[in-house]
Amino acid sequence: MKKLREIFKGFATKSEHHQHHDCCGGAEHSHQEEDTAHLKTTYQCPMKCEGDKTYDAPGRCPVCNMHLAPVG
């Protein structure tokens, strides 16, 4: 069962996310989590040894051993 906080999380206005906190010396800022799902980086061999195949993590190409390059 979802907590009420999770259910109503999306209904908060922008100003409600900016508060003064003792933890931050009273500075005004947001503790809201950023949605980074759309920023997921994929990696690919720069020589395209495996065509358009991509990987979820950096590393080396299994064919030519070059470092995989970020593509998006």
pLDDT of residue 25: 63
For the whole model, what pTM was predicted? 0.47
Give the Cα separation of 28 and 44 in Å (integer): 41
Q: Is residue 19 part of a domain?
A: no
Domain interval for residue 70: 37-72
- As for how many domains the chain has, the answer is 1
Q: Is residue 48 part of a domain?
A: yes
Give the Cα separation of 62 and 49 in Å (integer): 9
pLDDT of residue 7: 66
Q: Is residue 58 part of a domain?
A: yes
pLDDT of residue 40: 87
Q: Is residue 47 part of a domain?
A: yes
pLDDT of residue 45: 96
Q: Report, as ranges of residue numbers, the positions in the chain whose pLDDT lies below 70.
A: 1-2, 4-5, 7-39
Give the Cα separation of 35 and 9 in Å (integer): 13
Q: Is residue 18 part of a domain?
A: no
Q: Is residue 31 part of a domain?
A: no
